[in-house]
């Protein structure tokens, strides 16, 4: 299938992009497009406007700030995976990226785009939550820093207002033990369940509408995973318990 008709926009600055998002009704932001384009092609998303941010200057940087590492909205996943600053100061991010789809997808997909897509079975949202990171959003009203614990509201539902542009993700430095373990049918598939570990903080993914922090001492407490053709709720619950043990042993 092909996308439903839409109007294409290519702003030249972050300010112009924010103005467009503030003035246009039913607009979607295009960065890497690895999640959005399939949704458009299957007509699961039918925006009236598409705002392409790939020409915006200053959003392709990885740099240190405030005791952590900031990743701009146009940083590709493959570049972040091998970035020396992230590897040294936030190694969990690199571990998570190694599980994202396939290298060809990571060549185009963006770190911030994956976070903004808010897929509950994705690795990067869980890594952000385990580390206690933030997403920086900008609009004509100013800048807003959203804590990871507040950013994921539901399945494919980030805490972004329609006029806000996610311009950056921030991951705090973390030198303790880290791990990312998951189980999927084939390499590159979405995880049936997974665990991102940053020290004593465990973020579980694939078992709730959002990534969730495990309860210390009882990591599966309160979980009510959904079932589908890939796995039953009971299997997902059992699986994430096994993965917690693996993450803690890594």
Q: For the chain, what are the domain ranges?
A: 7-52, 62-172, 178-249
Distance CA 33, CA 145 (A): 24
The tokens describing 7, both together, are 């109007």
Half-sphere exposure of 244 (CA within 13 A, CB side): 23
Class of domain 7-52: alpha beta
Give domain 178-249's CATH architecture.
2-Layer Sandwich (3.30)
- pLDDT of 114 strictly over 90: yes
Q: What is the pLDDT of residue 80?
A: 98
Question: Mind listing the pLDDT tens digit for each residue in 14-61?
Answer: 999 999 999 999 999 999 999 999 999 999 999 999 999 999 999 999
Burial 3-33 (b: 16+ CB within 10 A, else e): beebeebebeebeebbebbbebeebbbbbbb
Long-range residue pairs from 113-116, CB within 8 A, at least 24 positions apart, any chain = 113/31, 113/32, 113/33, 113/34, 113/35, 113/36, 113/73, 114/35, 114/77, 115/151, 115/158, 115/166, 115/169, 116/29, 116/158, 116/160, 116/166
Provide CB contacts within 8 A for 30, sequence distance 6+. Answer: 36, 50, 51, 52, 53, 54
Helix, strand, coil shares, percent, the chain, to 5: 30, 25, 45
Distance CA 14, CA 59 (A): 9
Q: What is the pLDDT of residue 151?
A: 98
- pLDDT of 1 strictly over 80: no
Q: Is 130 exposed, middle or buried (0-12, 13-18, 19+ CB in 10 A)?
A: buried
Distance CA 118, CA 50 (A): 19
**CATH 3.30.465.10 is right for the domain spanning 62-172:** yes
Backbone angles phi, psi at 7, to 5 degrees: -100, 130
Q: What is the pLDDT of residue 250?
A: 83
Question: Mind listing the pLDDT tens digit for each residue in 18-28?
Answer: 999 999 999 99
Backbone angles phi, psi at 107, to 5 degrees: -65, -25
Average pLDDT over residues 168-184: 97
In contact, 63 and 70? CB cutoff 8 Å: yes
Q: What is the pLDDT of residue 187?
A: 84
Question: Mind listing the pLDDT tens digit for each residue in 199-244?
Answer: 999 999 999 999 999 998 889 988 999 999 889 999 999 999 999 9
Q: What is the pLDDT of residue 71?
A: 98
In contact, 240 and 191? CB cutoff 8 Å: no
The tokens describing 13, both together, are 């600055």
């Amino acid at each position: 299938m092909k996308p439903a008709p839409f109007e294409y926009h290519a702003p030249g600055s972050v300010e112009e992009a924010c103005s467009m998002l503030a003035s246009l009704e039913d607009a979607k932001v295009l960065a890497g497009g690895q999640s959005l384009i399939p949704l458009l092609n299957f007509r699961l998303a039918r925006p009236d406007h598409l705002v392409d941010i790939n020409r915006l200057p200053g959003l392709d940087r990885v740099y240190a700030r405030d005791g952590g590492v900031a990743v701009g909205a146009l940083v590709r996943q493959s570049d972040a995976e091998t970035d020396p600053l992230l590897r040294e100061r936030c190694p969990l991010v690199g571990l998570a990226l190694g599980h994202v789809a396939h290298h060809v997808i990571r060549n185009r997909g963006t770190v911030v785009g994956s976070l903004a897509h808010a897929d509950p079975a994705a690795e990067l949202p869980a890594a952000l939550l385990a580390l206690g990171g933030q997403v920086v959003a900008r609009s004509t009203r100013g800048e807003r820093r959203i804590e990871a614990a507040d950013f994921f509201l539901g399945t494919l539902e980030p805490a972004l207002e329609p006029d806000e542009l996610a311009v950056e993700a921030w991951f705090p430095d973390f030198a303790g033990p880290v791990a990312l373990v998951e189980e999927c049918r084939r390499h590159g598939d979405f995880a049936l369940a997974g665990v991102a570990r940053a020290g004593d903080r465990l973020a579980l993914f694939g078992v709730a509408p959002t990534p969730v922090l495990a309860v210390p001492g009882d990591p599966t407490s309160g979980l009510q995973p959904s079932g589908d053709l890939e796995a039953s709720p009971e299997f997902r619950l059992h699986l994430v318990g096994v993965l917690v043990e693996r993450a803690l042993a890594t």
